[in-house]
Amino acid sequence: MEGLPEPLLLEIFKRINKTIDRNSLSLVSKYIHSMEREQRNFLRVGCGLHPAIEAFTSLCIRFPNLKKLEIVYSGWMSNLGKQLDNQGLLVLSSHCPSLSELTLSFCSFINDTGIGYLASCKKLKSFKLNFAPAISSNGILSLVVGCKNLNTLHLIRCMKVSSVEWLEYLGKLGTLENLVIKNCRGIGEDDLTKLGLGWRNLKYLEFEVDAYYRYPKVCDHISVDRWRKQEVSCDELKELSLMNCIIAPDRGLSFVLGKCRYLERLHLDMCIGVKDTDMVALSQNSKNLKYLSLHLPSQFLAPVLVNSPLQLTDDSLRALARGCNMLEVVELCFSDGEFPSFSCFTQDGILALIESCPIRELVLNSCCFFNDIGLAALCTAHLLERLELVKCQEISDEGIMLVMNFPCLNALKLCRCLGVTDDGLKPLVGSAKLESLIVEGCPQISEDGVVGTARSVCYKKDLAWLYYVA
């Protein structure tokens, strides 16, 4: 091994991903140990560090060229020893000057003081926090002020982060490209307007509001008006994911959908206040849209959070059909049970998308209006490769038999569909039509009924959903 050229050894190291294998290889000789020490740029540590600070210090000294580090204490209990605390981040900032990506998960003993030490990591570009109960807005502000090259920031379940001076600073800095804020109770939808001109460089945004707790903030109309007057564009935004958000007229997020010229992926999950005019504006500006996922909330929830009962109709789907001719993946999920979805979509609207867009994947969840006639119309979808039907109770054996006529379909998933039986799948047996068939929770389909229907078959009988009462 020592006789091999250094470039070849480096290539070998790059192909070895498991830490235990790398450690074993480094024991072969001092030369390889030294080379591995210089080449190792990623570590993932957590409960196995004992004693924590001594073991972590040893690792930082051994791998001074460390670029990416994950500190994860998921599942930690006190009998596993102490967690890394602020002192650990001081050691990290002192011994690993090349650090560019840092993730802290379930680190309960790191607070603003520890985050302040990271301000000296001038090469830090990515910082991700997952459940950091002791870190507040002051710590985040000290980080973004010190790390001028930060382009990725993830804050997940950071309950003490409330004020958004750090967001304003990042907006002025103009380096942020990837922003994720999920279930941070002190940060509301309207706070995103504080990013200001920083929206121009943002490429990925994921924002999720805690569905069970809404911070009682009043809409900051001054910030919204300022953002609107600046005519800030979102031209660089490629992917937008919003969950449990209010997108009502004259709110910050209501201006975003019509400004994303190069948006490729859009996910709206249980968002209140989205209306046809929003989707029309999206279709007129986002010509590159390839992925659309809509999970629509109950119509009885919306009036509680917005002033008027706005609804999405087929006009939205028809506008998307006209304007987004690159759309390949569509997922539509509707609220079911006694609370119907907050939309007036019909089968005709869905078929308009199929007829005008190159849809390759279609997911319909709880579409009570989609029936065998709709499946018959899908036979004209020449590019459709994957179809997923969840809780579509109007689909029967007659409709499923039509799958044989779909030109390119090779993957089918049936989940919790009451009207489909073994008889509906019989034409597929031995036909070699499907590459993959997944059946989950369909009470009238047996395990024997799926045998031979596809090259790869997955069957689950779980019927607990039939008896579950929310």
Q: What is the pLDDT of residues 232-273, one digit of tens each?
A: 778 899 999 999 988 877 666 777 888 889 999 999 998 888
Phi, psi angles (nearest 5°) of residue 104? -120, 120
Give the C-alpha separation, 48 to 453, whole Å. 47
Can you tell me the mean pLDDT for 59-72?
91
The continuous run of DSSP H or E covering 269 comes out as: strand 265-269
pTM of the predicted model as reported, rounded to 2 decimal places:
0.86
Phi, psi angles (nearest 5°) of residue 434? -105, 140
Most confidently modeled range among 221-235, 257-271, 336-350: 257-271
In the prediction, which pLDDT does 79 show?
84
Which CATH architecture describes the domain 1-40?
A: Up-down Bundle (1.20)
Strands 42-46 and 68-72: parallel
Whether 141 has a pLDDT exceeding 90, the answer reads: yes
Whether 307 has a pLDDT exceeding 60, the answer reads: no
Q: How confident is the model at residue 342 (pLDDT cuts 50, 70, 90)?
A: very low
pLDDT digits (tens, 9 = 90+) for 392-446: 999 999 999 999 999 999 999 999 999 999 999 999 999 999 999 999 999 999 9
Can you tell me the mean pLDDT for 261-289?
92
155 forms beta bridges with 129, 181
| Residues 364-375: b if buried by 16+ CB within 10 A, e if exposed | bbbbebbbbebb
For residues 405 and 379, is the Cβ–Cβ distance under 8 A? yes
> Hey, CA dihedral for 403, 404, 406, 411, is it positive or negative?
positive
> Hey, CA dihedral for 73, 76, 78, 79, is it positive or negative?
negative
Write the burial class of residue 409 (CB in 10 Å: 0-12 exposed, 13-18 middle, 19+ buried). Answer: buried
| Residues 78-99: b if buried by 16+ CB within 10 A, e if exposed | eeeeebbbbbbbbbbbebbeeb
Residue 15 CB coordination number (10 Å):
6
What's the DSSP call for residue 255? G
For residues 224 and 193, is the Cβ–Cβ distance under 8 A? yes
The continuous run of DSSP H or E covering 362 comes out as: strand 361-365
pLDDT digits (tens, 9 = 90+) for 86-106: 999 999 999 999 999 999 999
Q: Where are the domains of the chain?
A: 1-40
DSSP annotation string for 8-29: HHHHHHHH---HHHHHHHHTS-
